[in-house]
Amino acid sequence: MSYIYPYLKANFPGKDEVLELTPNPASGELIKKLEKDVVETFLDRFAAQQPQCRFGLQGTCCRMCQWGPCTITEKSPRGVCGKDLNLIVMGNLLRALVAGLSAHARHAHEIYLTILAVSNGSIDMNLKGKGRIFEMADRLGISVENRAINSIAGEIAEILIEDLGRMTAGNLRILEAYAGQEHQELWEKLEILPRSSAYEIMEALHMTTLGACSDWMALVMQELRSALAYCYSTLFGTSLATEILYGTPQPRDSIVNYGILKEDHVNILLHGHSPVMVEKILEKIHTPEIQTLATQLGAKGIVLGGMCCTGDELLARYGIPTVTNILGQELALGTGAVDSVIVDMQCVIPGMKIVADCFGTEIITTCKSNRIPGAVHVPFDPEDPGSLDDDALFVARKAVEAFGRRERRNIHIPEHRSEARVGWSYEAIMETFGGAKYIVELLKTGTFKGICTIVGCNTPKVAYESNHVTIARELIAAGVLLTTTGCCSHALLNAGLCALKAAELAPPDTRSIFEELGAPPTLAVGGCVDNARTLRLFMALAEAAEVPMRDMPFMFIGPEPGNEKTIGQGVSFLVHGISTTIGFPGNIPQASVKPNDVADFFGKDGLFEKVGAKVYTEANPKLAAQIVNDHLNMKRIKLQEQGWS
């Protein structure tokens, strides 16, 4: 059964359709099990919400003051204050983007403050990313002569913190250090260079309050400005700073999917986004004290599994197996085999605790702003890290002790496991693929038809993971090299598309390159902040090809947008001239609604004239893949006309 939304030109799937189309058989098994166990999941709540509000779905509801809520209809084309459709739609999009920016900024803040704490000695650890420290110091103009490594890292962290919160005139130092000259000049001309993350969040919220800004185009420009803050102050900054702390991932093999859980082991899932506390907990889990505790309780060992972006980070860095993504978190607990989940920040849905309570799973929260009623709460504070070792040991012990209380009557672990070669940092890609010049050669000869990044969340508005996997399969078959992050990466990992043998799906000449180099056709580069790695790759390739990025055969694909954080991902690539294909209409009316300047601006020529990129929207994954292929071909034809062959 589908829920039909003609005005969106889209249908939302019911549970039966999800069961038919979802590509991971393990998900199907667990959906059925939870239904049999009469345990509610997102699918039941999604059904109960149907039909969803037409105004909310189209972004045409304004709730920014107490005069409303106001909705746009033929009878009422303006809100009470006089706002029209453009102002309401664009205001909602801007608020959503900066909400996502605030989430990434909070994550960045924790990472930067942790480096400061290591630098001033309040956290005792060795910084593993020495190469990254020297590279960043060089780009940021920091002197390294006769200085201890911790002191240089501390100065880098101070600059990143200033970029997060600068309130007086000045540009982002991290943007100046990493963005190409061509783009910096364009953004200066467009007057969209940001001051800091906090400043742009403040400005965006200010501009959208009652009576503050009546020019929708000014809101568009603030969207682009905020996206640049998002891209550099929080994506680049966090990804690079995390490497300062824990090192740069290198390719390694792993096994993923629900089948990594073991009935006779303690099963602990690691969930969220910031790896700081969890790194310390891992250290404790590997101590003889905790390993012995597990055996004393009758377990044969301890299995660790990752979820969401913390899972992506640990997979990339250590090969710790991942299990699932945001919409799989309830399913994972539905196995009945998970003893505890250690969560830090973001994308931890309240529904997970409902399932946890049904199966006796212990939830442990480690971020002071991400609380769950009934969970054990052991917050990490980089400004007061005195008890970090004791806290991490306490969490490790609690997580293992839950095994002794596990309800053993109703366990089902799907057997499905998939191989994966992971750890594709920017440097790892360059090394494995022989450097930027060689990758450009592969693009020129058509061995790679293009490079796309396929990323982002899940949404219950499409059959779970089916858009991610269908689009990726189609593109691999067309000879496109893929990078992936976030929840999409879990879908592709579990579908086996990050395994070396997935090269078999590619055309013969592309396949032999993957086999020769020892790389899969889908490169899992990390968590959502690591989209910066793909952007760095795109920048380096455009530079090596001596072609503006907007003309390169690249694309950003977000097949199942969900979280507000994902809007900034797409706009980050757009401002660099990389067009995006999104798999489900965002909260923006279809272009057929007239007048609809915002949809026209993003989907037709307005944005393209400014930055050289536009947004395509297609809910059908096969058609979306066709749009991507056409886009790449168009770019290739244009380059060939200019002598690229």
Nearer to ligand BF8, 183 or 565 (CB): 565
- How far apart CA 351 and CA 349 sit, in angstroms, is 5
Distance CA 248, CA 130 (A): 10
**CA dihedral (183, 184, 187, 189) positive or negative:** negative
Nearest in space to 570 (alpha carbons), one of 556, 560, 559, 583: 556
- Asked whether position 457 contacts ligand BF8 by CB under 6 A, the answer is yes
CA distance 415 to 26: 7
Among 94, 260, 308, 395, binds ligand BF8 (CB under 6 A): 308
Nearer to ligand BF8, 347 or 396 (CB): 347
Neighbouring residues of 565: CB distance < 8 A, sequence distance ≥ 6: 100, 103, 104, 346, 457, 528
Q: Does 453 bind ligand BF8 (CB under 6 A)?
A: no
Count of CB atoms situated within 10 Å of the CB of 73: 9
Q: How far is CA 312 from CA 108, 523, 628, in A?
A: 16, 12, 25
Least distance in Å: CB of 239 to ligand BF8? 12
Q: How far is the CB of 117 from ligand BF8 (least distance, A)?
A: 24
C-alpha to C-alpha distance for 298 and 307, rounded to whole angstroms: 26
**Residues 320-359 contacting ligand BF8, CB under 6 A:** 325-326, 347
What backbone phi and psi angles, to 5 degrees, belong to 621? -65, -35
10 binds ligand BF8 (CB under 6 A): no
**Residue 470 phi, psi dihedral angles, 5° rounding:** -65, -45
Whether omega for the bond prior to residue 520 falls within 30 degrees of 0, making it cis, is no
Instruction: Assess 270 for contact with ligand BF8 (CB under 6 A).
Output: no
Give how far Cα 182 sits from Cα of 186, 237, 575, Å: 6, 21, 12
Pairwise CA distance, residues 184 & 191, whole Å: 10
Binding mask 477-516 for ligand BF8 (x = CB under 6 A): ---------xx-----------------------------
Q: Could you tell me the smallest distance in angstroms from the CB atom of residue 482 to ligand BF8?
A: 16
Q: CB 488 → ligand BF8: shortest distance, Å? A: 7
Task: Indicate whether 8 belongs to the interface with ligand BF8 (CB under 6 A).
Answer: no
User: 393 vs 495, which CB is nearer to ligand BF8?
Assistant: 495
Q: Using the rule CB under 6 A, is 572 a contact of ligand BF8? A: no
Contact call for residue 557 and ligand BF8 (CB under 6 A) = no
Site for ligand BF8 (CB under 6 A): which residue of 273, 406, 550, 636? 273
Q: Total binding residues for ligand BF8 by CB under 6 A?
A: 16
Min separation Cβ 492 and ligand BF8, Å:
12
Query: What's the min distance (Å) between Cβ of 295 and ligand BF8?
Result: 33
| Structure-token pair, residue 453 | 């990044």
Which part of the chain contacts ligand BF8 (CB under 6 A), choosing from 235-243, 497-505, 550-558, 559-567?
559-567
From residue 330, alpha-carbon distances to 336, 351, 414, 448 in Å are 11, 7, 14, 38
Asked if residue 235 binds ligand BF8 (CB under 6 A), the reply is no
- Work out which of 249, 423, 450, 456 binds ligand BF8, going by CB under 6 A: 456
Near ligand BF8 by CB under 6 A, which window of 206-214, 256-264, 558-566, 612-620?
Answer: 558-566
Cα 93 to the chain's mean position, in Å?
18
Residue 67 CB, nearest approach to ligand BF8 (Å): 32
By CB under 6 A, is residue 526 in contact with ligand BF8? no
According to CB under 6 A, which one of 321, 562, 585, 586 is a site residue for ligand BF8? 562
Instruction: Specify the 3-state DSSP secondary structure of 593.
Output: coil
Write down the least CB distance from residue 309 to ligand BF8, Å.
3
* 278 touches ligand BF8 (CB under 6 A): no
Closest separation in Å from C-beta 573 to ligand BF8: 14
Measured distance CA(533)–CA(426) in Å, rounded: 5
CB 246 within 8 A of CB 414: no
| Smallest distance from ligand BF8 to CB 489, Å | 8
Q: Least distance to ligand BF8 from the beta carbon of 274, Å?
A: 11
Closest CA to 265 of 321, 338, 355: 338
Report d(CA 630, CA 452) in Å as an integer: 13
Give dist(CA 278, CA 395) in Å, integer.
10
State yes or no: residue 277 binds ligand BF8 (CB under 6 A): no
Contact between 239 and ligand BF8 (CB under 6 A)?
no
Determine which residue in the list 565, 614, 631, 635 makes contact with ligand BF8, applying CB under 6 A: 565
x/- map, 368-407, ligand BF8, by CB under 6 A: ----------------------------------------
- Under a CB-based contact definition with an 8 Å cutoff, are residues 552 and 540 in contact? no
Contact assessment for residue 122 and residue 386, using Cβ atoms and an 8 Å cutoff? yes
Among 538, 557, 531, smallest CA distance to 615 is for 557
Q: How far is the CB of 640 from ligand BF8 (least distance, A)?
A: 35
| Whole-angstrom Cα Rg for the chain | 24
Query: 541 with 443: CB under 8 angstroms?
Result: yes
Contact segment (CB under 6 A) with ligand BF8 among 134-142, 222-230, 563-571, 625-633 equals 563-571
Q: How far apart are the first and last CA of the chain?
A: 49
Work out how close the CB of 483 gets to ligand BF8 at its nearest, in angstroms, rounded to a whole number.
Answer: 14
The correct pick among 335, 447, 566, 572 for binding ligand BF8 (CB under 6 A) is 566
Q: Which of 309, 493, 539, 582 binds ligand BF8 (CB under 6 A)?
A: 309
Name the CA dihedral angle for 164, 243, 566, 617, rounded to a multiple of 10 degrees: 130
In the complex with ligand BF8, the residue whose CB is nearer, 88 or 308, is 308
Residue 269's beta-bridge partner residues? 305, 341
519 is an interface residue for ligand BF8 by CB under 6 A: no
CA neighbor of 76 nearest in space, from 59, 56, 91, 61: 61
Binding to ligand BF8, residues 97-126 (CB under 6 A): none
Residue with Cβ nearer ligand BF8 (311 or 319): 311
Tell whether residue 460 is a contact of ligand BF8 (CB under 6 A): no
Query: Which residue in 108, 117, 471, 528 binds ligand BF8 (CB under 6 A)?
Result: 528
As beta bridge partners, residue 555 has 452
Gap between the Cα atoms of 540 and 534, Å rounded: 10
As measured in angstroms, the least distance from the Cβ of 101 to ligand BF8 is: 12
Q: Note the residues at the interface with ligand BF8 (CB under 6 A).
A: 273, 308-309, 325-326, 347, 456-457, 486-487, 527-528, 562-563, 565-566
